[in-house]
Amino acid sequence: MSLPASVSAWLLVLLCAVSGAYCLGRVRRAGGAAAGEAAMGFGMALMAVPLGHGDGWRATALALVFCATALHAVWLLRQGTHHAHHLVGSLTMVYMAVTAGHGAGSGHGGGLPLLTGVLLLYYAGYVVLGGARLITAGATVQHPAGAGTAGQTGPTGPTGSAELTRACRLAMGMGMLAMLLAM
């Protein structure tokens, strides 16, 4: 049994909004990258809201917001190429907003199939890799007896916020993949 389109759209809105809120909470600790992720999460949530016809203003507004986040991502690239994903994400959102503004989601075209296919491959790989990293971050290790944890197992590596940040990024990657599939 599959969910009605409006239910799955609202679940995507919720997933993206929660991810955006978490990233917004990280801005003080993590700085610019978290701010960009928060903007992506909230923008993805707004884009996923099922409003129907006559919401062309939303596509234009979102395209402008994501052009600004793309410029922010270019600025972050000064710190290293690991910020390239933020640029890809921002440009993907611009592409989806522009395509949605021209009726691609309603059967009137479908956007650029090659570009959509490339983005689908990118985000599918991102989700698989992100999921694998999240799983390995939660691997267990046997603590030595006498270390105050006699025989207990627990997660290795950084716990708490590091895994939650990875999960947030994975959720947004899955959201992006879902929105590309819906184009």
Between 50 and 141, where is the model more confident? 50
Between 156 and 18, where is the model more confident? 18
Tell me the pLDDT tens digit for each residue of 102-158: 665 444 445 568 999 999 999 999 999 999 988 887 664 444 554 444 444 444 444
Q: How many domains does the chain have?
A: 1
pTM: 0.75
Token output for 163: 């895994």
Task: Check residue 115 and give its pLDDT.
Answer: 92
Neighbour count for residue 124 (Cβ, 10 Å): 15
Average pLDDT over residues 162-174: 86
Token output for 164: 């939650």
H helix or E strand, kind and range, residue 148? none
Q: Which domain holds residue 24?
A: 5-144+151-181
- Angle (nearest 5°) at CA 90 between 121 and 52: 85
Measure the CA dihedral 19/20/26/31, to 10°. Answer: 130
